[in-house]
Amino acid sequence: MRRVVVVGTSCSGKTTLAGRITGELRVPNIELDAIHWLPQWQERPLEEFRELTAMAVAEERWVADGNYTRKVRDIVWGRATSVIWLNYSFPLVLWRALSRTVRRSFGGQVLYSGNKESLRHAFLSRESIIWWVITTFHRRRRAFPAQFQKPEFRHLNVIEFRKQRDADAFVNSLNDARSTPDESAMQRGPGNER
């Protein structure tokens, strides 16, 4: 796996899984939210966002997370070799949205560009992440399979996880593969150099 992008509906666990994979593969992590958001939850201008994203994915190996369908998918998916789709159930994703928001709000967790989530913003604003999950989940979930079939993305190895345990097993398999000695290196050993 050289260039992997983790996608899924909002709050499905993209950033968490990408971080775990990055740790196992020991490659750069490209968090699209961190590139996209400026202080005070202002969006980075589109051309600048596209330019910074293109620079990040120009590397030979990386793991990226995030969707940004209309903004940078052509850039990220165009360079990716694999897409991991977190196709989890609505109850799980909604639970993650609620628990993450409460944890970040009460914990004062600093996010991209110094931004913080607040309960007021999460529950009482028109930009509420909770409302976003509720109103976009089913539409976005239906859209992914069609995107994978587009001619410009047929080169991608698509890996779909429907359960958290499947994602966990995948990460564990990366750990196992990394800790298993390379068979070709063992064959070369002393006196067997090629």
Please report the domains of the chain, with CATH numbers, ordered by start residue: 3-163 (3.40.50.300)
Q: What is the pLDDT of residue 121?
A: 72
**Mean of pLDDT values over 6-20:** 96
Residues near 169 by beta carbon (within 8 Å), at least 6 away in sequence: none
For the chain, how long is the longest CA-to-CA vector?
70
Predicted structure pTM score: 0.86
pLDDT given at position 189: 34
Question: Which has more pLDDT, 81 or 1?
Answer: 81
Q: Please name the amino acid found at residue 24.
A: E
Give the residue-averaged pLDDT of 178-185.
48
Is residue 182 pLDDT above 50, yes or no? no
Please determine, for residue 183, whether its predicted confidence score (pLDDT) is greater than 50. Answer: no
List pLDDT tens digits, range 102-133. Answer: 887 777 777 888 878 777 777 777 778 889 99
| Among 68, 67, 66, CA closest to 46 | 68
* pLDDT tens readout for residues 67-109: 998 999 999 999 999 999 999 999 999 999 999 888 877 777 7
Query: pLDDT at residue 49 above 60?
Result: yes
What is the model's pLDDT at position 179? Answer: 64
In this prediction, residues 150-168 reach a mean pLDDT of 97
**DSSP letter string, 174-191:** HHHHHHSPPHHHHHHTTT
pLDDT at site 194: 28
Report d(CA 46, CA 62) in Å as an integer.
22
Q: What is the mean pLDDT of the chain?
A: 88
SS (H, E, C) 85-138: EECCCHHHHHHHHHHHHHHHHHHCCCCHHHCCCCHHHHHHCCCCHHHHHHHHHH
